Amino acid sequence: MAVDAPAGFNRTFSYSIPSELDIIPGHLVAVPFGARTLFGLVFSIAENPKVIETKEIFNALFPSPILDRIQLDLARWISVYYMAPLFSSASLMLPPGFRSGLKEVLTISQNNNVVLNKNLSKSEKQVLALLQLEDGIERKLLLKLIGDHAGKDVQCLLNNGLIKKNYYWWPQTGKYKKSVKLSMELQYKINETLEQLSKKAPKQAALISYLAKQRSDIVSLSKLSKTFGYSSVKALQKKNLLEITNVQIEEGPLAGKIFPSDNPHELTFAQYQAIGKIKNAINDESDSNKIFLLHGITGSGKTEVYLNAVQKCIKKGKRAIILVPEISLTPQTIERFASRFPGEIAVLHSKLTQSQLAHQWWSIKNGRYRIVIGPRSAVFAPQPNLGLLVIDEEHEWTYKEEEQSPRYHARGIALKIAELNGLTVILGSATPDISTYYHALNGRICLLELPSRINIGQKETKQLNPLDKGLPSVTIVDMRKELRDGNRSIFSRALLSNMEVTLNRGEQIIIFLNRRGSATFVQCKNCGYSFRCRNCAVGLTYHREIDSLLCHYCNKKTLLPKECPKCQNVNIKTIGFGTDYVVESIKKYFPTVKILRWDRDTTKSPKAHEILLSTFQEHRADILVGTQMVAKGLDIPNVTLVGVVSADTGLNLPDFRSGEKAFQLLSQISGRAGRGVTMGTVIIQTFQPDHYAVNAVASQNFLKFYETEIVYRREYRNPPFNRLIRLLYTNANSITCESACSALANILVTERDLSGFLGIDILGPTPSFPSRLKGYYRWHIILRGSKPELLLNKIMVPRGWTIEVDPVTVM
Ligand code: ADP
Ligand code: ZN
Q: Is the pLDDT of residue 269 over 70?
A: yes
| Residue predicted with more confidence, 507 or 554 | 507
Least confident of 17-26, 369-378, 631-640, 721-730: 631-640
Mean pLDDT of all residues in 252-264: 79
Say yes or no to pLDDT of 588 above 80: yes
Ligand 1 atom at minimal distance to the Cα of residue 296: 3
Among the atoms of ligand 1, which is closest to the Cα of residue 307? 6
Q: What is the pLDDT of residue 466?
A: 40
Average confidence score pLDDT of the chain:
86
More reliable by pLDDT, 464 or 402: 402
User: 164 near 157, Cβ under 8 Å?
Assistant: no
Nearest atom in ligand 1 to 637's CA: 14
For ligand 2, the distance from its centroid to the CA atom of residue 550, given in whole angstroms, is 8
Supply the DSSP string of 503-529, one letter for each residue: HHTT-EEEEE-S--SSBSEEEETTT--
Answer whether residue 606 shows pLDDT above 70: yes
- Ligand 1 pocket, mutate which of 268, 269, 298, 303 (most atoms under 8 A from CB): 303
Q: Which of 454, 456, 672 has most ligand 1 atoms within 8 Å of CB, for mutation?
A: 454
Query: How close is the Cα of 558 to the center of ligand 2, in Å?
Result: 10
Q: What is the pLDDT at residue 469?
A: 63
Q: Are strands 386-392 and 319-323 parallel, antiparallel or unpaired?
A: parallel
What sign does the CA torsion over 322, 327, 332, 336 have?
positive
Assess whether pLDDT exceeds 90 at residue 291: yes
Alpha-carbon distance of 191 to 203, in angstroms, equals 16
Tens digits of residue pLDDT in 752-792: 999 888 889 898 788 887 777 888 888 889 999 999 999 98
Give 808 Cα–ligand 2 centroid separation in angstroms: 22
Range of weakest confidence among 271-275, 456-460, 604-608, 657-661: 456-460
* CA 274/CA 450 separation, integer angstroms: 8
How many A from CA of 633 to the centre of ligand 2? 30
**361 band by pLDDT with thresholds 50, 70 and 90:** very high
Secondary structure class of 203 (helix, strand, coil) = helix
Element of type H or E holding 765: strand 761-773
pLDDT tens digits for 495-519? 999 999 999 999 999 999 887 776 6
Per-residue pLDDT band at 139 (split at 50, 70, 90): confident
Q: What pLDDT score was predicted for residue 519? A: 67
Is the pLDDT confidence value at 491 over 80?
Answer: yes
Nearest CA, atom 5, ligand 1: 301
| For the CA of 454, the nearest atom of ligand 1 | 12
CB 85 within 8 A of CB 11: yes
Residue with CA closest to ligand 1 atom 25 = 265
Going from the Cα of 763 to the center of ligand 2, the distance in angstroms, rounded, reads 27
Whether the CA torsion 32, 33, 34, 37 is positive or negative: it is negative
Ligand 1 atom nearest residue 455's Cα: 12
Residue 543 CA to ligand 2 centre (angstroms)? 15
**pLDDT given at position 455:** 67
Residue nearest to atom 18 of ligand 1 (CA): 301
CA of 301 to the centre of ligand 1 (A): 4
Tell me, rounded to whole angstroms, the distance of Cα 538 from its chain centroid: 27
> Residue 540: nearest ligand to its CA?
2
Q: pLDDT digits over 662-710, tens only?
A: 899 999 888 888 887 788 899 999 988 988 899 899 888 899 999 999 9
Distance 300 CA to ligand 1 centre (A): 6
Q: What band does 5 get if pLDDT is binned at 50, 70 and 90?
A: confident
**Of residues 654 and 277, which shows the higher confidence score?**
277
- What pLDDT was estimated at residue 465? 46
Q: Give residue-wise pLDDT tens across range 314-331.
A: 999 999 999 999 887 777
Ligand 1, atom 23: closest residue by C-alpha = 267
For ligand 1, atom 9, the nearest C-alpha belongs to 301
Per the CB < 8 A criterion, the answer to whether 696 and 708 are in contact is yes
d(CA 323, CA 414): 10
The Å distance, Cα 137 to ligand 1 centre, comes to: 59
In ligand 1, the atom with minimum distance to the C-alpha of 392 is 2
The predicted model scores a pTM of: 0.85
CA 11 vs CA 7, 60, 554: distances in Å: 6, 21, 35
Which pairs from 461-464 meet CB under 8 Å and 24+ separation? Answer: 463/679, 464/679
Sheet holding 176-182, edge to edge: 219-220, 176-182, 242-248
Residue range 190-216, pLDDT digits in tens? 888 888 888 888 888 888 888 888 777
Rounded distance from Cα 305 to ligand 1 centre (Å): 9
Q: Is 443's pLDDT higher than 50?
A: yes
Q: Which of 124-133, 449-458, 671-680 has the lowest mean pLDDT?
A: 449-458
Comparison of pLDDT for 508 and 332, the residue scoring more: 508
pLDDT in tens, 224-245: 888 888 888 888 888 888 888 8
Report the pLDDT averaged over residues 398-423: 94
For ligand 1, atom 10, the nearest C-alpha belongs to 299
Question: Region 160-184: what's the mean pLDDT?
Answer: 82
Check residue 223 and give its pLDDT: 83
Task: Give the rounded percent of residues in the chain with a pLDDT score beyond 70.
Answer: 96
Name the burial class of residue 168, with classes exposed (0-12), middle (13-18) and buried (19+) by CB atoms within 10 angstroms of its CB.
Answer: middle
Residue 669 · residue 642 · CB < 8 Å:
yes
Q: Which of 2-16, 96-110, 164-178, 609-623 has the lowest mean pLDDT?
A: 164-178
Query: Which residues' Cβ are closer than 6 Å to ligand 1?
Result: 265-268, 271, 296, 298-304, 454, 635
